[in-house]
Structure 1
Amino acid sequence: MTTARLDAAELDARAEELAELLTDTVAGGASVGFLAPLGRADAVAWWQERSAGAAAGRLAVWAAYDTDGRVTGTVSLAFPDKPNSRHRAELVKLMVHRRARGQGLGRRLLAVAEEAAAAAGVTLLHLDTETGSPAEHLYRSAGWTRVGVIPDYAADPAGTLRPTTIYCKRLGAAGPLPG
């Protein structure tokens, strides 16, 4: 597996492939902000809309590719645009295609995003994930700190309101969080 950061032009060019990953992720039950069934055209449009954020430097997207060059996963960092929050970023849309799960790809993508964030001077990352999801184990085992749970925060792909757990992680010289 290889990973590469996608610029705005590459996001547009690979929108179809990325849409296939997104629709597979939603169909597999992962709560990544969409309801099932997610139509392909909607998924393509969503990825194409990310181009503006990437071009403006507010979003960084990495894709993982299998040996055949197919997109098998993504992870993104969303950077705030306010002066008082430039030390932090939000980890968003960590997705692994069902055909590639269980091979450590999620952990590798998470490490790519953390390393890139630290290299960019980010000292604090945060994310939210569905409480009780398999992703929670990944984040805990990678040293993320559970901050709390918000009940009924988002609907899962079936439309059922589910709690969301918030996590954060300090990077670099800031050191780990207590607890």
Structure 2
Amino acid sequence: MPLTFTLDPSMDPALRDGILDLWADVTDAGGAVGFVAPASREAIRAELLKHLTAMADGRARLLVGHDEDGRVAAAAFLTFNTHRLMTHWLWLYTVMVHPRHQGKGYGRDLLAAAAGAARGFDGIEAIRLTCRGGLGLERFYGSCGYKEVGRVPGAIRVAPDDDRDDVIMLLPLT
């Protein structure tokens, strides 16, 4: 059963908690979404609050995928560039699919929905994201049309003596 995607859903406590649960579950399953397992829910909540503030300020948009039971199963944040010379592309942040739904093609569906949403924004010509090297994520994003356009070796420290590359990916929309 495919996910139902909604851009800019009405934020209420249930949705907020659903995103928090998703983020914690993805992190705990080893997902590269800004934390290393196990991450405290309070640390994730603080980061989520930053995203919600950006949404309230009009700097970010939220894309959520719900499963057939109505649970939050996937999410991503589309964040507009504030630099006046870079407003023609946006960032895709915190791309997540719940572990119970991985392997079903929902990650591809989420990226396609994000690209579709971005195409609807005036003046947006590309999506840029970064991912943590060493997990094969650049291959996944590459299979979805993204091109690796840069790499910063060892920029992400996940543990002592465990540094990963920060891989920069770009999806042209035109």
What is the TM-score normalised by the length of structure 2?
0.88
1:61 Cα deviation after fit: 1.0
State how far apart, in whole Å, the 1-side matches of 2:71 and 2:113 are: 18
1:48 Cα deviation after fit: 2.8
State how far apart, in whole Å, the 1-side matches of 2:166 and 2:42 are: 28
Whether contact under 8 Å (2:154, 2:163) holds in the other structure is yes
- Once the two structures are superposed, what CA deviation does each residue of 1:40-71 show, in whole Å capped at 9, x if it has no partner? 23323322332221122211111111111111
State how far apart, in whole Å, the 2-side matches of 1:36 and 1:100 are: 19
Misfit runs of 4+, over 3 Å: none
- Higher RCO (CA-CA < 8 Å; seq separation 6+): 1
SS of residue in 2 equivalent to 1:90:
strand
Aligned residue number for residue 5 of structure 1: 7
State how far apart, in whole Å, the 2-side matches of 1:63 and 1:99 are: 16
Aligned residue number for residue 19 of structure 1: 20
Corresponding letter in the other structure for 2:167? T
Corresponding letter in the other structure for 2:57? A
Is residue 2:117 matched to residue 1:94? no
Is residue 2:32 matched to residue 1:31? yes
List gaps (5 residues or longer) in structure 1: 173-179
1:11 Cα deviation after fit: 6.2
Identity of paired residues, percent?
31
Corresponding letter in the other structure for 2:46? A
What is the TM-score normalised by the length of structure 1?
0.86
- Once the two structures are superposed, what CA deviation does each residue of 1:68-124 show, in whole Å capped at 9, x if it has no partner? 111111111111112221101111111111000011111111011111112113112
Is residue 2:138 matched to residue 1:136? yes
- Once the two structures are superposed, what CA deviation does each residue of 1:118-164 show, in whole Å capped at 9, x if it has no partner? 211311221111123243222111111111321111133x5632112
Cα RMSD (Å): 1.8
Whether contact under 8 Å (1:128, 1:167) holds in the other structure is yes
Whether contact under 8 Å (1:6, 1:60) holds in the other structure is yes
Corresponding letter in the other structure for 2:125? T
Aligned residue number for residue 122 of structure 1: 124
SS of residue in 2 equivalent to 1:84:
coil
State how far apart, in whole Å, the 2-side matches of 1:107 and 1:127 are: 15
State how far apart, in whole Å, the 2-side matches of 1:75 and 1:11 are: 17
List gaps (5 residues or longer) in structure 2: none
Aligned residue number for residue 170 of structure 2: 168
Query: Given the superposition, is the C-alpha separation of residues 49 and 86 from structure 1 closer, same or farther in structure 2, using an over 3 Å criterion?
Result: same
After the TM superposition, which of the residue ranges 162-171 and 12-21 deviates more from structure 2?
12-21
State how far apart, in whole Å, the 2-side matches of 1:127 and 1:80 are: 12
SS of residue in 2 equivalent to 1:83:
coil
Structure in which a larger fraction of residues adopt helix: 1
State how far apart, in whole Å, the 1-side matches of 2:81 and 2:150 are: 21
Is residue 2:47 matched to residue 1:42? no
